[in-house]
Amino acid sequence: MRILITGGAGALGSSLKKVFKNAYCPTRKEMDVTSARSVNKAVLKYNPDVLIHAAALVGIRECEENKEKAWLTNVEGTQNIVNALRKLNNNCYLIYMSTACVFAGEQEKYYAEDDIPGPKNYYSLTKLCGELVARQYTNTCIIRTNFAPKSQWKYPKAFVDRYGTYLFSDNVAEGILDVVKKKPRGIIHIVGSKRMSMYELALLVGSKNTGKMTLQEYQGPPLTVDMSLSTKEWKKYQIK
Ligand X SMILES: NC(=O)c1ccc[n+]([C@@H]2O[C@H](COP(=O)([O-])OP(=O)(O)OC[C@H]3O[C@@H](n4cnc5c(N)ncnc54)[C@H](OP(=O)(O)O)[C@@H]3O)[C@@H](O)[C@H]2O)c1
Interacting residues with ligand X (CB under 6 A): 6-7, 9-13, 28, 32-34, 54-58, 73, 77, 97, 99, 127, 145-147
> Minimum Å distance from CB 53 to ligand X?
7
Q: Which is nearer to ligand X, 92 or 166 (CB)?
A: 166
Q: Which of 188, 79, 181 shows the shortest CA–CA distance to 143? A: 188
> Minimum Å distance from CB 166 to ligand X?
8
Measure the CA–CA gap between 41 and 30, rounded to whole angstroms. Answer: 9
Q: Which is nearer to ligand X, 89 or 135 (CB)?
A: 135
Exposure on the CB side of residue 130, measured as CA atoms within 13 A = 38
Q: Which is nearer to ligand X, 89 or 206 (CB)?
A: 206
Measure the CA–CA gap between 26 and 37, rounded to whole angstroms. Answer: 14
Which amino acid is located at 153 in the chain?
W
Measure the CA–CA gap between 157 and 210, rounded to whole angstroms. Answer: 5
> Minimum Å distance from CB 234 to ligand X?
15
> Minimum Å distance from CB 143 to ligand X?
8
Q: Which is nearer to ligand X, 36 or 89 (CB)?
A: 36
Q: Which is nearer to ligand X, 120 or 127 (CB)?
A: 127
> Minimum Å distance from CB 87 to ligand X?
18
| Angstrom distances, CA of residue 99 to CA of 2, 165, 166, 190 | 25, 12, 11, 10
